[in-house]
A and B are shown apart, each in its own frame.
Chain A
Amino acid sequence: MSTTNPQSDAPTDATSRPVDRARARRRSKQRRRVANVAGLMASLVLTGSLYSVFAPAQAAEDTTSESAAEAAGRELYERSCITCHGENLEGEPNRGPSLIGVGEASVYFQVHTGRMPLVRQEAQAPDKPAVFSDAEIEQLMAYVQANGGGPELPPGGNLRDGDLAEGGELFRLNCASCHNFVGEGGALSSGKYAPSLKDATDLEIYTAMLTGPENMPVFGDNQLTPEEKRSIINYVQTVKFQADPGGAGIGRIGPVGEGLVIWVVGIGALMFGIFWMGSKA
């Protein structure tokens, strides 16, 4: 930013004495220098502020000062995520997708369910015990959110305060085709699958709908409003913890389990019975 004015010695001053003339020349040169610097600074500030007005997201990246949480998040990122998601969250071909714009909701879901960090590349990341603590997840969320933004966590409050019956209807309409009637999960193509919702927490279900992890479509707030999302969560969690009035639930997967039971238990017990009867003459 050092400025030198190439026209600094231009004869613009009208003083007769050479000393005065020289002094005046020096003074005017300084004045010109100051003016030039000021003008340049003004235009830079103007450009910068205009730029920040028209491209607010990018402006955030220009800020060199990051919060402590973001710095800690960057630290974690550089240790555990950088191999697949790249130096600047831009992703690596055939390894991991870009994280720019995925938002803290996605980080929360992937890291909180233990899906990330990935153990190995396979059809789909399985859920496992979380590697990072809640505090570390917060830091990672802050870092990713600071670098590209994206869907944020819901503002809090009870995530189950939606309408139960409406939630069921929405679940069957939007979720059951992969996750089964009551969230038992199901197979997708080529080794991919829709996981069981047995261990899913409210916030995990919410962030999954918001960000569409793995093969799941994104259910943004335009597709399912936050109220509808809370209804779905209410339904999933209510039905999950509801007792089976008919006895053992046998996986709640319907006829496959029932067929197994009737052949193994039903026919098995009766075979035992008729062997026994046959031996009694």
Chain B
Amino acid sequence: MAATATTPGAPTSRLGKAATEFDDRMIVAGPVRRTLNKVFPDHWSFLLGEIALYCFIILLLSGTYLTFFFDASMVEVEYQGEYDPLRGTQMSAAYASALDLSFDVRGGLFMRQMHHWAALLFVAAIVVHLLRIFFTGAFRRPRESNWLIGVVMLVLSLLMGVTGYTLPDDLLSGTGLRIISAILLSIPVIGTWAHFAVFNGDFVGTEIIGRFYIAHVLIFPAILLALIAVHLLILVKQKHTQFPGPGRTEHNVVGNRLFPTFAGKATGLLLVVFGVCAALAGLVQINPVWLWGPYNPAQVSAASQPDWYIMFLDGSTRIFPAWDINLPGDYTIPALFWPTVVVAGLMFTVLAVYPMIERKLTGDTASHHLLQRPRDVPVRTSLGVMALTFYVWLLLAGGNDVIADKFNISLNAMTWVGRIGVIILPPIAYVLTYRICLGLQQHDREVLEHGIETGVIRRLPHGEFIEVHQPLGPVDEHGHGQLAYGGAPVPKRMNQVGGARRAIRGFFSPIEQPSAVELEQLGEGRGLAAGEASRELTSSGRPSDGGRPSDGGRPQDARD
């Protein structure tokens, strides 16, 4: 021990010595130091994927609790639990245990609701994260593989959702299961076999809940967990993208170190996500299975919908015409096949291969670590908005009976609005987005060329009114700016420009001190500045009209 104690820089505290002993054996100091010093760029939109990650953690924890009490069995039992309106009803053991979880298990209802809310939030966060990646071009080389993994994880999370939705075996989930069965059956050639493989017989059989349970609690989460690990490892290896800005290039990363800043923020966000899920679970009721009743194939309810992330497929099914294709020899391709298998297949295929499509179309095979502003890539942005319009329209069509009921609209009208809208709205969205992108681009260029609009109007001696512009940088002999557009946000308002001034921390964005020209304008308004032309124009300036005493001594000559 004496040898180590005399080494220069050796730890003297007990903890430090213990750490040295540990490192002597494990040799981890190097990697840990590198990891802790890893720099992550800072932008609010980079936290969206983290929300999904934290939702997944909540799902694992609450789901584990639920497995202690859930019985994934389709054995018929008679309910004798706490909930009076169902006591004595025949139901599956799965449904009975879901009821017991809600009414008899301590904290069970809260956990069930938290699990379900977190699941809805999980997919929602994935979708928002995906939109951020898409619209900023973060999927470009070298990150195509991570994009692909992300799409696979999205599909897996949808499958997780579908299987989890089915487990309680209530009337709503059973209706969903019936539709899953119908979709499987609608697949040409292999449909019947696929159905038998999944259900082990005809609908509904006695096995499906058990099978979906294992898929839901083991198979899909295990794959998802592995993919999340790969997703994050690739992210660390390839480094995070960043928005262009001062000092940011394709070859560096500007941001905060993992420890302590980023770790502190991440922990904070984890707690925020946890808090939102817990608040929802405690305050807002979700999937009240006791109201739905046990599944019985003879029963169905109005307004039976899947959870929101599958609702786009329900919507496409609702608005698709009943076009069965009858082939010779008693073969039929049911209409259901197109809006479900084909539409979903096409949507996710196009989504998965979009990086390759864009690479082919633009011929851009270079590596990119700087993100793009959506306005600077109008075609991609417009395509994205077009696809999003299509998706959201299908989503709304999935709830068309509820919309019809709540807003007193004819359901037939809703169906036709869905059909016509899904064809004409996406192109309209494309054109509008394209025009908006070009307009924003033009305004950026205008600011760079002429400066920021100050809102200060001057009257020239010959009577012309002009607005004073504040150039962003040095100007040429015509007064035009010489700055090039660098892909970063261009300041548009005066108080965004004062980079040289001290920023006061605001709640969302820094509050900056007013710029020189604004202060001057303010002073003019109070009549402090000299010169008749710059006097306040909203009143006569007389004390009786609210003019200020300082104006009093000056001549009130003919102004109007």
- Hey, which bits of chain A sit against chain B, CB under 8 A? 123, 164-165, 167-169, 172-173, 176-182, 184-191, 193-194, 235, 238-239, 242, 244-250, 252-259, 261-263, 265-267, 269-270, 273-281
Contacts and interface: CB of A to CB of B under 8 A. Distances in A.
B44 A165 contact: no
B276 A269 contact: yes
A182 B291 contact: yes
Contacts of A247: 113, 281-285
B493 interface: no
A141 B301 CA distance: 34
Contact of A244 (B47, B285, B304): B285
A72 B256 CA distance: 86
B285 A274 contact: no
Nearest to A281: B42
6 contacts: A167-B85, A172-B293, A176-B171, A187-B402, A190-B410, A274-B269
Contact of B302 (A164, A186, A249, A275): A186
A70 B311 CA distance: 55
A177 to B, nearest CB: 5
A255 B284 contact: no
Nearest to B84: A164
A192 to B, nearest CB: 8
A239 to B, nearest CB: 6
B121 interface: yes
Contact of B308 (A173, A186, A263, A269): A263
B86 A168 contact: yes
Contacts of B510: 279
Contacts of B227: none
A194 B172 CA distance: 19
B124 A267 contact: yes
B332 to A, nearest CB: 25
Interface of B: 42-45, 47-48, 51, 84-89, 102-103, 109, 113, 116-117, 120-121, 124-125, 128, 171-172, 256, 265, 268-269, 272-273, 276-277, 280-288, 291-293, 296, 298-308, 311, 399, 401-402, 404-405, 408-414, 505-510
Binding site secondary structure of chain B? helix
B125 A255 contact: no
Contacts of B284: 246-248, 250, 261, 265
Given A177-B302, A184-B303, A248 B283 contact: yes
A274 B51 contact: yes
Contacts of B285: 244-250
Given A191-B410, A258-B287, 9 more contacts: A169-B89, A176-B301, A246-B284, A247-B281, A254-B305, A255-B287, A262-B117, A273-B276, A278-B43
A261 to B, nearest CB: 6
B308 A178 contact: no
B411 A189 contact: yes
B43 A258 contact: no
B47 A279 contact: no
Contacts of A250: 284-285
A187 B48 CA distance: 37
Given A168-B293, A266-B280, A277 B269 contact: yes
Contact of A266 (B121, B399, B405): B121
Contacts of B292: 181, 254
A258 B124 CA distance: 12
Given A191-B410, A262-B124, A255 B269 contact: no
**Which 6 A/B pairs are nearest by Cβ-Cβ distance?**
A186-B302, A278-B44, A259-B308, A246-B285, A191-B410, A187-B404
Contacts of B306: 255
Nearest to A244: B285
Contact of B109 (A123, A246, A266): A246
A179 to B, nearest CB: 7
B47 A176 contact: no
B534 to A, nearest CB: 36
Given A246-B109, A259-B307, A262-B308, A187 B405 contact: yes
Contacts of A266: 117, 120-121, 124, 276-277, 280
Contacts of A248: 283-285
B44 A181 contact: no
A188 B128 CA distance: 34
A246 B121 contact: no
Contact of B87 (A165, A185, A193, A280): A165
A180 B509 contact: no
A248 B282 CA distance: 9
Contact of B411 (A176, A180, A188): A188
A161 B117 CA distance: 38
B51 A270 contact: yes
Contact of B301 (A165, A180, A188, A235): A180
Contacts of B85: 164-165, 167-168, 235, 238-239, 242
